[in-house]
Chain A
Amino acid sequence: MNLALRDVRHNLGRFLLTCLGLSLLLGVVLSMIGIYRGLVDEALTLARAPGADLWVVESGTRGPFAESSRIPGDERDSVARLAGVAEAGSLTFQSVETAHRGRTLRLYVVGHELNRPGAPARIVAGRPITRAHYEMVADRRSGLDLGERLRLGRNDFTVVGLTDGLVASGGDPVVFLTLADSQRLQFDLDPPAARRERARGSGPAGTDIVNAVVARVLPGVPVQEVADTAARWKHLSALTQGQQEALLLQSVVEKARRQIGLFTTILLAVSAVVIALILYTLTMDKVKEIATLKLIGAPDRTIVGLIVHQALAMGVIGWSVGTVLILLVKDHFPRRVVLTPEDALMLGAAVLIICVAASGLGVRLALKVDPATALGG
């Protein structure tokens, strides 16, 4: 006879309310883990989008994501000529803010060369950019629709294609322009400012500046060797794709990871305290029943089972409901929430351990109950 189950049945309302509270708490824990995974995923998505093996950036920098990097656009040709390089493409990155449907829209603009590495790998609707100017591919998160026109700088761009899930590490949706358009967006001055510059006698500044050159190497060629060759040029640095990703995680995501990790730990600790208090209170309410059980001959394992089974049931229900709850609402979060089965199962295991540990207080109290308590008034 499972006494814990029958006790739960008797106090079903209170038990379910407790489980609901716990599930909300565990849902928050899971969403924090999901937000962290989302941060990593978003940061890496942009770095992985060009499908590059090698990133060539300004010497002495760790660009283009962790630090700013500016190199002349014609370096692409130098990189493309390196032994072992199959193809290379220049890229620019910049954040812009514009008005869209009466609201401010922040975008992360990636400028790339047509038919070279750097274009979005997967278009989910529409087509890639085919014209040299005034076309853009936007991520769905931007809220832009196919055929929609958007003003960036001094020009209007037409959305010809859509991507899905491409955002910058700051959460801004990514849009792709041609390299020339993005350079003009970055360097072209407004006519009054340009007239003033001319009046001052300044010649037109060079605008063929890019933030990085990405390259794909031929099959079988060690990427690190090509990177070492590129790095011998004093004005350039080179990073492999793996180094770029590691750098991103260390510099861009690391603090967020620690912050979220600490917050998650605190939430788990709070969950443990809440479970312990609930179980202690439930045990306090049953002191006379426990004394009676001891008096009629129930062994300690029956008494411990009464408490631990309830703790485990609470943990399993709280975890299950919390997981379902987050799965239902995760797409409504402003930032991406990535829930992996491994994280959910790890949390489940942690919750079970916490439940067993948290029931210790209740178990200790129950084992100390004197059976004589059952006698007398």
Chain B
Amino acid sequence: MPVPSDAHPLVELRGVAKTYGRGEVAVHALKATDLRVYPGEVVGLLGPSGSGKTTLLNLVGCIVEPTEGSLSLDGQTVYDGGWRCADLRRLRLEKIGFIFQFHNLLPFLTAGENVAVVLDLAGYSGAAARDRARDLLDYLEVGHRFGTLPSRLSGGEAQRVAIARALANRPRIILADEPTAALDSQRAGIVLDLLRKVAVEQQAAILVVSHDEKIFDRFDRRIVLRDGRVVEYDEPAHGPAEA
């Protein structure tokens, strides 16, 4: 999908690197990397195991601190030689939605509560959180499973509930870690279609880590990593500026 030429990136990394350890035992998990993801895009982050995909996701998710470079999310500089945000969890709550490989739903909450918990943390009232959770589950066609515990959901249903949770707080950035790894190709396709729908309708930037070859051609762009370095970078297709 073409990105308007005047669009600002929701995710922007400038020379971001991450090194674990020091001296001889230092591991350069990610070398200086530049990356931009725009609203409405679904970008695939590809590469073999150990290539730095998860490290990159952790950096964008403000879970680990970069060793160098700068990071901006939704126009706000979050890291530039040090964290520029005092409450990273609040930042994640407000700006980032996470989708996990194995859905990571809280087993003691129903599908509806798993979605509502994010809204509860954001300060919504109980009724408002429940209504929004129900709307989201209906939107993702699992509204009939509102009161069901995760252990009684199928893999596909659980992943839809996880997507609903990621969308609950209307984040502009969605980070997905192998969201289709536990699904067959048909369900994987459905999940990717859902993410695309979300990206377009909510103008969100979606970064998907995957080494699932069957979905490689379903991304708007692909960024390939190897040994902590970007080895293939699809530039966004810019379209006309928005009126």
Contacts and interface: CB of A to CB of B under 8 A. Distances in A.
Interface stretch (A6-14, A21-29, A151-159, A166-174): A6-14
Contacts of A295: 61, 63, 92, 98
A292 B107 CA distance: 11
Interface in A289-348: 289, 292-299, 302
Given A374-B100, A375-B54, A375-B177, A6 B113 contact: yes
A338 to B, nearest CB: 42
B63 A371 contact: yes
Given A9-B108, A372-B63, A374-B104, A297 B126 contact: no
A3 interface: yes
B92 A289 contact: no
A192 interface: no
A362 B128 CA distance: 32
B109 A296 contact: no
Interface in A10-38: 10-11
Contacts of A203: none
B108 A375 contact: no
Given A3-B108, A293-B106, A375 B58 contact: yes
Contacts of B149: 10
B165 interface: yes
**Prevailing SS type, chain A contact patch:** helix
Contact of B90 (A288, A297, A377): A297
Interface of B: 54, 57-58, 61, 63-64, 89-94, 98, 100-102, 104, 106-109, 113, 116-118, 120-122, 126, 129, 149, 165, 177-178, 181
A302 B123 CA distance: 13
A204 interface: no
Given A1-B116, A376-B177, A377-B102, A10 B165 contact: no
Given A292-B100, A297-B90, A375-B177, A11 B120 contact: no
7 closest A-B pairs by CB: A297-B93, A10-B108, A7-B108, A1-B120, A292-B104, A297-B92, A297-B89
Interface residues of A, number: 25
B92 A377 contact: no
Nearest to A290: B106
A11 B109 CA distance: 11
Contacts of A289: 104, 106-108
Contacts of A297: 89-94, 118, 121-122
B175 to A, nearest CB: 9
A124 B125 CA distance: 63
Contact of B54 (A3, A299, A376): A376
17 contacts: A1-B129, A3-B106, A3-B117, A6-B108, A289-B104, A295-B63, A296-B121, A297-B92, A297-B93, A297-B94, A299-B121, A374-B104, A375-B63, A375-B100, A376-B54, A376-B177, A377-B181
Contacts of B121: 296-299, 302
Contact of A1 (B61, B100, B126): B126
Given A289-B104, A295-B92, A302-B121, 16 more contacts: A1-B129, A6-B109, A9-B108, A10-B107, A294-B89, A295-B61, A296-B98, A296-B117, A296-B118, A297-B89, A299-B89, A299-B90, A374-B100, A375-B101, A375-B177, A376-B177
Contacts of B113: 1, 6
A293 to B, nearest CB: 7
A6 B102 CA distance: 21
A293 B109 CA distance: 12
Nearest to B61: A295
A370 B54 CA distance: 14
Contacts of A294: 89
Given A1-B126, A289-B106, A297-B118, A372 B92 contact: no
Among B89, B121, B181, the most chain A Cβ lie within 10 Å of the Cβ of B89
Contacts of A10: 107-108, 149
A147 to B, nearest CB: 65
Nearest to A375: B177
A1 B117 contact: yes
